[in-house]
Every structure is written in structure tokens, then in C-alpha cells.
Structure 1
Amino acid sequence: MSATTHDTDFQAALAEYATRWPDEAATVMLFGELLGDAENPFLRERLAGHFTASCWLVDAGGGRALLTHHKKLGLWLQLGGHADGERDLRIAALKEAEEESGLSGLRIEPGIFDLDRHRIPEHKGVPEHWHYDVRYVVRAGDNEAYVVSDESHDLAWREIVELAADDAADASVQRMARKWLARVTV
């Protein structure tokens, strides 16, 4: 598939997301502007900001999410990482989920689940920059025996109901937990 086709599909996914989450229109606009930038926004070398791909990795029953205790940031977050040139962020998110969890048999669901634009602090000579994180729902199969990768201090399955109410949780993780609960109760 061509870059133009991927970008058109991504624009359509952003528009669909904006319809579902009208309060996030300003965020959607920022993501759309980045997509239209002449400098490739799918490469981490674009330090003015670039796309990243993450997943809300839930167990087969949908009651728990797998989080990573991120080494660089020291926070419990969703799995994910850089697109490294991959314009289909669904592929990048699924790849990150597999690499960071060691789980096989993962399935990605269609559509964008969450968007989050956040600053990444300077680290090992890489200046502070923006991540435009596009998040997708990924479901685990029967095997939940994860393997901790080099990018994590640890991994843990967490009850989504508890995450939604946990004021100590990262704000974006708490938001995703609430979105998930709203979705499954509709």
C-alpha cells in the first residue's frame, strides 16, 4: 500500500475518532496537521515531533490491561513505541505489543482507541520533543504469560476498573481505562 493510501486511511480514522470523541477535536487537529507536514512525521529523527504507536492491550475477557513499568520514564504505561517509518500505525502498535510483551496470538481491533500528545524529556543526548501517540486496542489470546523486555522494569496485568479510579495512575492510562469501561458498558 502506498504512503498516500496509508495517509488517506489515517485521515479517515482521525475523522472517525473526532466523531466519537468531539471533546478531543483540538487534539485530532494537531495530529492531522502533523500528518500533513512535509518532513516525514513517522520517523523518530523528526525532533519537532513524530508519531508513535501504542496499544491498550487487554486480556481475552476485556477486564485487565497489560502495563509496562517504562525504564526511561519510570511510569506504568501502555505498551508502545516509535513507528520507525511505518506509516500504518496499527502494524507498528501490534509489533510493539508483541516485542514488549513476548505474547503471541495478539489481535488488533480496527479504529483508533485513543490519541495522546505529550512531551518526552531529554534523554541520552536526544533533546526534549513531542510524541503524537496513536493508540489501538490489542487483545491477548489464551496465553497471558508475558516476558519482560529490555525496555521495561516490569510488566503487570491490572484490573481496568481499578485503573479508572486510581488517581496515582498516569492521566492518559486513567483516561483509556475510563474510555474502555464506557465502551464495554454501552
Structure 2
Amino acid sequence: MKRNSLLSLLNSYQPEPGMEEEMWQDTIHFVNENPDCFERSLLKGHITASGWVLSADKSAVLLMHHSKLDKWFQPGGHCDGDPAVEDVARKEVWEETGVEDLQLLKPGIYDVDVHLIPERKEIPAHYHYDIRFVFAAGNDQSITMNAESKDVKWIPLTEVENFHDSESIMRMVRKVSAL
């Protein structure tokens, strides 16, 4: 079954108690109930993957200013049928930032988040069940932007809250100290 590798990752993950734990449980339920959970065509929601990319010295994170949502986020995106969520996260980081040299800092999942994507044009509001991985970028890599972003830059961890102070983002900032 296509979902087994993700279910195995989710079952071996230990979320933070509280909100993340609830989203983790919701994600496990969603994956178990929806064989097509990796498909964007599943209109109620789908699995996405993203990368929390730290500088080599772990003092900064690579964020992009998302064009459509007009907010700063970590790079990530749709799985489009691919159940290899870590590979999807790597691909999305490369496509959205140009950064290719990535070292996985923590085996398995770094964070799980469920968030509502607002209705847009002919696409109804739906949920993204985001599976997040943490990477360190190699030194001296060029950053590039694509059409999905207004800007991409390294932001010192101490300044992230000035760009996006949601619990979802700040939870990942807090987790850096455990790496």
C-alpha cells in the first residue's frame, strides 16, 4: 500500500504535546481514511511536504515570501501522488530556493502541521497535512526564486517572529535547540 511508508514515519514520530499532537493524530486518521491522500485532486485535503532549512551553523532559516498567500513560509508543496515525502520536501526546497545541497539533520519527521488553505478561484478551501523535515544547507549555495515567491532569504532564528509569528512557524524555531 502506497501509504505504508508515511504511516510508518508518522507512527515513529513523537509530536509536541498539545496542538501538534492533535494535528499528528488528525494526519494519521486522514492518511488511513484516504487512499488518495497524496493527490491534489482530493478536494477536502492532501498530504504536502516541506523543508525547514537551516544554515550550516544553525543560526538562520531559509524562508520564502509566498506570492499567493503573502506570508513568509518554509519551502514546500504538493506530493502530486508521490508517497516519498522526504524526497518531495527536498525537491520543493530546490525548486523554490535553488538550494540543492541538503543534509538531513534529524532522521524522520521534524514537525507535523495541518492548516486550512483558503478558497481560491475554482479550488475550494481545503486542508494541507504538512509533513516537515529539517535540513542543513551546505555552504556557499546560491539562492534563486521562482514564480511562487516574492522573496527568498536567510532569516536569523532570533528574527523569525518578525516575519511570521504563527505557532506553526515558532514551534519549528523552538525545536532547533534540540538538534
Length-normalised TM-score, structure 2: 0.90
1: CA distance, partners of 2:119 / 2:12:
34
1: CA distance, partners of 2:173 / 2:164:
13
2: CA distance, partners of 1:180 / 1:48:
32
Q: How does 1:22-171 map to 2 (within 5 A)?
A: 22-23=17-18, 24-109=20-105, 110-163=107-160, 166=162, 169-171=165-167
- How far is the alpha carbon of 1:50 from its aligned partner? 0.5
**Which one-letter code corresponds to 1:102 in the other structure?**
G
- How far is the alpha carbon of 1:104 from its aligned partner? 2.4
Secondary structure, in 3 states, of the residue corresponding to 1:36? helix
Length-normalised TM-score, structure 1: 0.87
- How far is the alpha carbon of 1:169 from its aligned partner? 2.4
- How far is the alpha carbon of 1:167 from its aligned partner? 8.4
Determine which structure has greater relative contact order: mean sequence separation of CA pairs < 8 Å that are 6+ residues apart, divided by chain length: 2
Secondary structure, in 3 states, of the residue corresponding to 1:178? helix
Runs (5+) with no aligned partner, structure 1: none
Give the fraction of aligned pairs with identical amino acids, expressed as a percent: 36
| Greater helix fraction, Structure 1 or Structure 2 | 1
- How far is the alpha carbon of 1:121 from its aligned partner? 0.7
Secondary structure, in 3 states, of the residue corresponding to 2:13? helix
**8 A contact 1:108–1:136 mirrored in 2:** yes
Residues 168/9 of structure 1: CA separation in 2 closer, same or farther (3 Å cut): closer
Secondary structure, in 3 states, of the residue corresponding to 2:65? strand
Coordinate RMSD, CA, aligned: 1.8
Matched, 1:21 2:16: yes
Runs (5+) with no aligned partner, structure 2: none
**8 A contact 2:38–2:80 mirrored in 1:** yes
